[in-house]
A = this chain, B = another copy of it.
Amino acid sequence: MTGLDARDIEEAAARLEPVATRTPALTALSLDQAAGWPVVCKAENLQRTGSFKFRGAYHHAASLTARERANGLIGASSGNHAQALALAGRLLEVPATVVIPDDAPVPKLEGVRALGGKVVTYRRGIDDRDGLVAERADREGLAVVPSANSRRIMAGAGTAALELLADHPEIETLVVPVGGGGLAAGSAVIAKHVSPGIRVYGVEPEGGADTLLSLRCGQRIALPEPPVTIADGLGHSCPAPLTWAVNSRLLDGVVTVTDRDITAAMAFAFRHLKLVVEPSGACALAAILSGLVPHESGTIGVVISGGGVDLPTFHRLITATPQRKEPARA
């Protein structure tokens, strides 16, 4: 019993169909050449609010009864979940409150507000974020929408893989980033259901490999040091219980990528796929381009999970990394 099965993801897909973008599955000869295998990229950076997070946030919020969400939604995030939650609230016509660290980049705060979301800041490293969310939810009667550790968040996230495998049933290996683990869990459940022989690999940044450490230890383990990685969306310290229950059972393995692997993949996506991909969103692609994922035959599917990066940061990250020479996109 994993707490998540294929029907959960199919139910989420039906709910998301009228509101989410069916993101494209992109291919390029240059990518196949660089990877050494046929590769298909699910471009979730083109999802509404710029990442796959909208799928889970909307599905979770829409699954609540009108009464449960009547006073509004609340969640904590310094990244893509924040805007996803704001849009979910807007579409469901209830207020959304997002708890964001006070050192978050101004565009992220503005992004949430532009969608009608309410921003509450906390002092990172000082305030108890989850306590603040719980206390405010209790006081104002708000429904908490977690960023990963929820059956419905996992189910919503898994719909991207469902679409990808419907478009490309020939995929034999699926590669997804692992942060909170919701995307990996939802993807693994649906992929093993629709393509029983498929292998599913998670990718973590070298400086935030809590799921890999936990797999090696056979139990949920917190990293001894705080995560250090440019992939800020994947910098988790410890797998969440619900996602761990799925991922520890279904993932065929987890590989890690360096910051340099990540920026090379971001540059590759810019040049050959014409996509803006944030560091966390580029990790699965990075693992493929760096030849880190075990694969012996057939097509590889990759989830490009988000594009939440501004141009100055993007340019700084790419130019700080010597780029490999690559052939042209086709």
Q: Interface of A with B (CB < 8 Å)?
A: 21-24, 26-30, 33, 43, 45-46, 48-50, 83, 87, 90, 107, 110-112, 114-115, 267, 270-277, 307, 310-311, 314-315, 318-319, 327-330
> Known: A311-B271, A315-B311. Contact between A90 and B330, CB under 8 A?
yes
Q: Do the beta carbons of A87 and B29 come within 8 Å of each other?
A: yes
Q: Which residues of the other chain, B, contact A49 by a CB distance below 8 angstroms?
A: 328-330
Residue of B nearest to A278 (CB): B274
Q: Do the beta carbons of B28 and A114 come within 8 Å of each other?
A: no
**Could you tell me the distance in whole angstroms from the C-beta of A307 to the nearest C-beta in chain B?**
3
In addition to A43-B46, A45-B274, A274-B277, 20 A-B residue pairs with Cβ atoms within 8 Å of each other are A21-B24, A28-B48, A30-B114, A46-B273, A46-B275, A48-B329, A49-B328, A50-B272, A50-B329, A83-B330, A90-B330, A114-B330, A115-B327, A267-B311, A271-B311, A274-B275, A275-B275, A275-B276, A276-B276, A311-B318
Q: Do the beta carbons of A46 and B30 come within 8 Å of each other?
A: no
Q: Do the beta carbons of B274 and A110 come within 8 Å of each other?
A: no
Q: Which residues of the other chain, B, contact A271 by a CB distance below 8 angstroms?
A: 107, 310-311
**Could you tell me the distance in whole angstroms from the C-beta of A106 to the nearest C-beta in chain B?**
11
Q: Do the beta carbons of B21 and A111 come within 8 Å of each other?
A: no
Complex partner residue of A115 from B46, B83, B311, B328, CB under 8 angstroms: B328
**Could you tell me the distance in whole angstroms from the C-beta of A164 to the nearest C-beta in chain B?**
14
**Could you tell me the distance in whole angstroms from the C-beta of A276 to the nearest C-beta in chain B?**
4
> Known: A87-B330, A329-B50. Contact between A274 and B311, CB under 8 A?
no
A-side binding surface: helix, strand, loop or mixed? Answer: helix
**Could you tell me the distance in whole angstroms from the C-beta of A309 to the nearest C-beta in chain B?**
9
Q: Do the beta carbons of B50 and A274 come within 8 Å of each other?
A: yes
**Could you tell me the distance in whole angstroms from the C-beta of A45 to the nearest C-beta in chain B?**
4
Complex partner residue of A276 from B30, B43, B112, B270, CB under 8 angstroms: B270
Q: Which residues of the other chain, B, contact A310 by a CB distance below 8 angstroms?
A: 271
- Complexed CA–CA distance, A329 and B53 (Å): 13
Max chain B Cβ within 10 angstroms of own Cβ: one of A49, A273, A311, A327? A311
Residue of B nearest to A87 (CB): B330
Q: Do the beta carbons of B274 and A307 come within 8 Å of each other?
A: yes
Q: Do the beta carbons of A328 and B26 come within 8 Å of each other?
A: no
Complex partner residue of A327 from B111, B273, B276, CB under 8 angstroms: B111
**Could you tell me the distance in whole angstroms from the C-beta of A316 to the nearest C-beta in chain B?**
10
Residue of B nearest to A49 (CB): B330
Q: Do the beta carbons of B24 and A46 come within 8 Å of each other?
A: yes
Q: 10 closest pairs, A vs B, by CB?
A: A111-B328, A114-B327, A274-B307, A274-B276, A114-B328, A45-B274, A24-B24, A315-B315, A87-B330, A50-B329
**Could you tell me the distance in whole angstroms from the C-beta of A308 to the nearest C-beta in chain B?**
9
Residue of B nearest to A316 (CB): B315
> Known: A21-B24, A274-B307, A315-B311. Contact between A48 and B330, CB under 8 A?
yes
